[in-house]
Amino acid sequence: MIKGHQSWIFNSKPVIISSAAVGGPFEAKGPLAEDFDILHEDIWLGQDSFEKAEKVFLEHACERAIKKSGIKKEDIQFFISGDLINQIVPSSFTARTLGISYLGIFGACSSSMEGLALASLMVESKSANYVLVAASSHNAGSEKQFRYPTEYGGQKPPTAQWTVTGAGAAVVAEEGIGPKVTSATIGRVIDMGVSDPFNMGAAMAPAAVDTIEAHFRDLNIDPSYYDIIATGDLGKVGHEIASTLLNKHGLKIPQNKFKDCGLLIYNKDQPVFSGASGCGCSATVTYGHFLNRMRKGELKRILIVATGALMSPMSYQQKETIPCIAHAVSIEI
């Protein structure tokens, strides 16, 4: 199963038998709106805090994915989820609601593919028959925690990104109909000394490049194998840096094939600065847009490279730089 130094090959090809994406009003104005299962008109969802609202977004994504799978909730053995809020409270409280054995993860915005890789590993190793995997984020909650509360009205530089308000979820099974998870490359922590929380794309780009290079090296394939290679949320700045680094290292990926979820989810006229970010970014775009395209026959092989900045409000206040990571998962149909 281990391939090369840091990749897994899933010989049984675990199946994503269902997936769901839930978004907010800002996501409803984007070009991928039709790929969401649920779009809410209110970021509060009747709750008295943004953190509680994020929990509801996540619950709705999980409930919809379970319903679409055609199996009972009681048939799912494990729930894997992560988010950006302190101590991954939305994920843990959603697990409380679901009542499914729970593994909470924190890979920042890389959590979506970290979770999918682990879920596939559990199914591959016969440790589970069905695993529910999910990730979420909330714009106002993340801004309050990592930068400034939205109502503060602080000025943002062009390198800043807009955290997605939404959640994505999927059910992974040992057999069934749907896209199959064929491999995963687990990333290393890369820190190039960036310390600006308003320039996450530049911080995460080297980690994305490191994992992409490791994936092709371990599996002994080249970019032509995939129809789409998509990073999680590098945004405009980070995506350009990643493209430059890959070309410099001799790994040239055509621009029509090299995408970024943070550049796909919003329209160019939406005020998102450098693009989108958040755990919900790669989760909703992958479990909504990309998997829908695969089910329609438009895509056959994709590589999702979810990127994450492993900082905290405390580490930033202590003048630490931003360590980053990226996890890649290949999905085929």
Q: What percent of the chain has pLDDT over 90?
A: 90
3-state SS track over the chain = CEECCCEEECCCCCEEEEEEEEECHHHHCCCCHHHCCEECCCCCCCCCCHHHHHHHHHHHHHHHHHHHHCCCHHHCCEEEEECCCHHHHHHHHHHHHHCCEEEECCECECHHHHHHHHHHHHHHCCCCCEEEEEEEECHHHHHHHHCCCHHHCCCCCCCCEEECCEEEEEEEECCCCCCEEEEEECCCCECCCCCCCCCHHHHHHHHHHHHHHHHHHHHCCCHHHCCEEEECCCHHHHHHHHHHHHHHCCCCCCCCCEEEHHHHCCCCCCCCECCEECHHHHHHHHHHHHHHHHHCCCCCEEEEEEEEECCCHHHHHCCCCCCEEEEEEEEEC
Mind listing the domains of the chain with CATH numbers?
11-173 (3.40.47.40), 180-332 (3.40.47.40)
pLDDT recorded at residue 288? 98
Average pLDDT in the chain: 95
| pLDDT of res. 147 | 72
pLDDT for 146 equals 76
Predicted TM-score (pTM) of this structure: 0.96
How much is the average pLDDT of 154-163? 85
pLDDT on residue 319: 87
Q: What is the pLDDT of residue 148?
A: 66
Of the ranges 73-82, 130-139, 218-227, 307-316, which one carries the lowest mean pLDDT score? 307-316
39-87 pLDDT per residue, tens: 999 999 999 999 999 999 999 999 999 999 999 999 999 999 999 999 9
